Amino acid sequence: MNIKLGKNAYGKNAVNLSKIIRHDDHHEFRQISVNSALEGDFETAHTEGDNSKILATDTQKNTVYILAKEHFTKGIEDFGLYLSNFFFSNNPQVSKVNIEISEHLYTRMAFDGTVHPHAYVSSGDEKHTTTIVQNKDSITITAGIKDLLILKTTDSAFTGYIKEPYTILKETTDRILATKCEATWTYNSINIDFTAMFDQIRTTLLKTFAFHNSLSVQQTLYAMGEAVLQTYPEVTEISLIMPNKHHIPYNMEPFGMDNKNEIFMATDEPFGYITGTVIRG
């Protein structure tokens, strides 16, 4: 029997790091979680227990903290690129490096029109994400948003769908559209102001969602992706995940009352799950 090792990788997950960047007039607080994964010539570690080519996962963890001191000063994409290149350049046995970073977002507090120099409020569950994949021939950079909870109270409909014996859902031309959006997009260059680009793409996604007259979540998903590709030539493709966070009109007829799209039941499960990738033709 011929048995051999297939594709494999190893690394360190959930390296949680907080950093204060101290400017003269304010502090900049950053909180990230880093995953690293290495692929390469590690067969003998699996088949013979020979660890001579293994960069310990604890060392990978320490590398993240040490390099963050001097090199985590801009966007998470920039830091991810530095980490990836460091691991790749210093380990000839490594053929591929994968770095994933998610950043918890905070905003400086403001009082009476003045921004506080070092007090922050969380932006909730929303995160800025990036993945860097590097091998000897290429570097791929993706960025994105995760757990972005967005909602609008009208300009959303759902009609004309298949009706069969198990269909009880009523058509509507006026409903709440809510989703916890996840978006990831791929850049075509490493020479980008990643922080500014992220902010601009996020604004484009939100603006499109807000002003799009939605006939379905699918249509709105496509419109959001299309707007990003039309506006930013630096982006080659964008994928979106938009679960439908249902708000169902509550039946008030048994109580002799008319519900004019005012009272809803917010339900977490089950929920519709809509995904799609928009690419350049």
Three-state DSSP class for residue 195: helix
Place of tokens 């000897």: 136
Alpha-carbon distance of 33 to 247, in angstroms, equals 32
Q: What is the Cβ-side half-sphere exposure of residue 68, based on CA atoms within 13 angstroms?
A: 20
Alpha-carbon distance of 32 to 26, in angstroms, equals 20
Joined tokens for residue 197: 């680009």
By DSSP bridging, strand 139-152 and strand 272-279 are unpaired
Beta sheet of 94-111, edge-to-edge order? 10-22, 27-40, 94-111, 114-135, 139-152, 177-187, 235-244, 272-279
Neighbours of 70 (CB within 10 A): 8
Alpha-carbon distance of 71 to 83, in angstroms, equals 9
Nearby residues of 182 by Cβ (< 8 Å), 6 or more positions away: 144, 145, 146, 147, 148, 240, 241, 242
Q: Which among 139, 229, 215, 222 is positioned nearest to 174, based on CA atoms?
A: 215
What residue type is 152 in one-letter code? K
Just list the catalytic residues. 12, 57, 246
Bridge partners, 36 (sequence order): 12, 99
Indicate the Cα dihedral angle 55, 7, 185, 69, nearest 10°: 0
